[in-house]
Structure 1
Amino acid sequence: MRSQRRSARGTVGHPYSALNLRLALAVFGFVVSTALGVLAWAAGFGWLAILLFALAVTALVDMIVVELRRRARRREGGGRGSLFE
């Protein structure tokens, strides 16, 4: 088993947090689901549009939760804005 280099910030006991990456993926999911939902609605696929809008709402809720966790982490003196804090 190879040991971790000394300059690495994350450790086994305290790994990097992927909150910023999770936020980026939630934003992507929201934008894509909303756009495809609008296209599906315009094409007459109402059931598919409703499903995609439900996914967009889920992604929106995830964005809110992640942002609240990022703000709490900043108040505690945590990460500074890379994809992996």
Structure 2
Amino acid sequence: MSDRRPRGATDPVPRERSGAIGRRYPRTGTEPATAQSPLRLRLLLSAVFLPLFAAGAAFFGVWAADTGPGDSPGRDTLVALAAVCAALALLAAADLIAVRRRLRRERGSTPPGR
């Protein structure tokens, strides 16, 4: 018996665990088809490092504000360290939000109205 699909049609690519817009390219690697990101580990690491980086940014910021001329390390170095810690804190916060949304979506418990 013949297949009734139009000529050139391919099977749809499954959308599970592929993100918001679906898989862009077919799988070509040797990873398992059910490979998953370690979301719980990412959640734990983000939850641990977010307050650490925020505290580091505050610490280096206060230290930089209290530094006088000729002190070592210099004010510019401390401001740079505070900026790096703040950027890493923002990255950890964004990852924490993304992981929580993905875990909520996988459990199927999205809040009403969304």
Which TM-score band applies after superposition, normalised by the shorter structure? 0.5 to 0.7
Matched, 1:75 2:108: yes
Provide the TM-score with structure 1 as the length reference.
0.67
Structure whose residues are more often helix by fraction: 1
Q: 2:83 aligns with which of 33, 43, 50?
A: 50
Identity, in percent, stands at: 29
Larger Rg, first or second structure (1 or 2): 2
Q: How many residues align?
A: 65
Which position in structure 2 is the counterpart of 1:65? 98
Q: CA RMSD in A?
A: 1.7
Which position in structure 2 is the counterpart of 1:28? 48
1:38-75: CA deviation from partner (whole Å, max 9, x where unpaired):
11111111111011001000000000100110001101
Which structure 1 segments of 5+ residues have no match? Answer: 1-11, 77-85
Tell me: higher relative CO, structure 1 or 2? Use CA pairs within 8 A at least 6 residues apart: 1
Equivalent-residue separation in structure 1 for 2:62 and 2:37 (angstroms)? 39
Equivalent-residue separation in structure 2 for 1:43 and 1:17 (angstroms)? 38
Equivalent-residue separation in structure 2 for 1:48 and 1:22 (angstroms)? 24
Displaced runs of 4 or more, over 3 A = 12-17
Equivalent-residue separation in structure 1 for 2:59 and 2:84 (angstroms)? 13
Provide the TM-score with structure 2 as the length reference.
0.51
